[in-house]
């Protein structure tokens, strides 16, 4: 009889917990779809206080943020995690420092997303996310390494996209008027040449769906956890006898 063993997924979340809940739900749904019955994902979760992280972001104290998340990642490894998922796009700014703190692999959200865009045979995409993700180069440069051109909204649209994330989505508020604003931002990105739209903040998927865009969307939360679940099953087959 052939059985599959799941690696334990270490989720480093809380940024915000709204999106971390989606990660947890999706991981369990994906494992159930794969194995059936009452199967669920093998997960350990560390959830940080997002208010503390946001303050570090606002003060550009990225080194301190890296130390905070690196410590949490080490705790996940000590708790039995065999691969690591940083449940946020923005804090992938410190992904290299987090990876350096542990010996288990980190599944990088930008690499996963880039591969999905390439599978769709697109080369130019629009990026929606926090101001940090849209305006700093850590995310766009990572995508560029895969040969992709990344467009971002203009300064006014960036401010509105960021505001909706922090003032509404991160606290569980989903407004139809905000969904319409995002649709308008997407239309402008398409007008600038975007062939697809990266939903580059894990909370955006609470607001925007594929039906809100006339071009393909790339939901980073779902893509990220799908890749992690796939990786959790890789190379873990054992053969027994009846």
Dump pLDDT digits (tens) for 90-145.
999 999 999 999 999 999 999 999 999 999 999 999 999 999 999 999 999 999 99
Q: Is 218 in a helix, a strand, or coil?
A: strand
Are 130 and 53 within one domain? no
| Model confidence at 240: pLDDT above 50 | no
* CATH number where 98 lies: 3.40.50.1860
pLDDT of residue 4: 59
Segment 146-166 shows an average pLDDT of 97
Q: Is 89 in a helix, a strand, or coil?
A: coil
Segment 12-31 shows an average pLDDT of 94
Looking at the whole model, is its pTM more than 0.85? yes
Instruction: Give the residue numbers annotated as catalytic, written as ranges.
Output: 88, 201
Q: Which DSSP letter does residue 82 get?
A: S
Write out pLDDT tens, residues 60-81. 999 999 999 999 999 999 999 9
| Side-by-side strand order, sheet with 124-128 | 149-151, 124-128, 196-199, 217-219
| Model confidence at 3: pLDDT above 90 | no
What average pLDDT does the structure give for the chain? 93
* Inter-residue contact 154 to 225 (CB < 8 Å): no
Are 60 and 126 within one domain? no
Are 32 and 102 within one domain? yes
Element (H, E) at 90: none
Task: Compute the half-sphere exposure of residue 191: CA atoms within 13 Å on the CB side of its CA.
Answer: 8
Task: Compute the half-sphere exposure of residue 194: CA atoms within 13 Å on the CB side of its CA.
Answer: 26
Domain extent at residue 158: 109-219
Are 234 and 208 within one domain? no
Are 136 and 205 within one domain? yes
Are 197 and 229 within one domain? no
Give the number of domains in the chain: 2
User: What percentage of the chain has pLDDT greater than the value 90?
Assistant: 92
Are 200 and 215 within one domain? yes
| Model confidence at 236: pLDDT above 60 | no
Are 176 and 141 within one domain? yes
Are 116 and 104 within one domain? no
Are 42 and 114 within one domain? no
pLDDT of residue 235: 61
The answer to which of 31-35, 137-141, 230-234, 238-242 has the lowest mean pLDDT is: 238-242
Are 201 and 231 within one domain? no
| Side-by-side strand order, sheet with 9-13 | 43-47, 9-13, 83-86
* Inter-residue contact 18 to 170 (CB < 8 Å): yes
Are 208 and 230 within one domain? no
Segment 143-165 shows an average pLDDT of 96
pLDDT of residue 241: 28
Rounded to 5°, angle at Cα 162 from 156 and 166: 145
């Amino acid at each position: 009889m052939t059985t599959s063993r799941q690696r334990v997924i270490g989720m480093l979340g809380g940024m915000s917990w709204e999106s971390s809940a989606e990660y947890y739900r999706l991981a369990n749904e994906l494992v159930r779809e794969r194995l059936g019955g009452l199967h669920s994902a093998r997960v350990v979760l560390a959830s940080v206080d997002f208010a503390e992280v946001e303050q570090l972001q606002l003060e550009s104290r990225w080194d301190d943020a890296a130390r905070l998340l690196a410590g949490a990642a080490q705790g996940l490894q000590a708790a039995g995690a065999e691969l690591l998922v940083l449940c946020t796009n923005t804090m992938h700014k410190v992904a290299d420092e987090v990876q350096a703190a542990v010996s288990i692999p980190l599944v990088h959200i930008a690499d996963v997303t880039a591969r999905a865009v390439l599978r769709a045979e697109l080369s130019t995409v629009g990026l929606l996310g926090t101001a940090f993700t849209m305006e700093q180069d850590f995310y766009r440069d990572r995508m560029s390494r895969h040969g992709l051109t990344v467009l971002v909204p203009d300064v006014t649209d960036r401010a509105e996209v960021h505001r909706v994330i922090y003032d509404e989505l991160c606290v569980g508020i989903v407004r139809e008027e905000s969904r319409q604003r995002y649709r308008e931002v997407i239309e402008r990105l398409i007008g600038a040449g975007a062939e697809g739209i990266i939903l580059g903040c894990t909370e955006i998927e609470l607001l925007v769906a594929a039906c809100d865009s006339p071009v393909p969307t790339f939901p980073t939360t779902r893509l990220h956890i799908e890749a992690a679940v796939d990786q959790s099953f890789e190379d873990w087959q054992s053969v027994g006898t009846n």
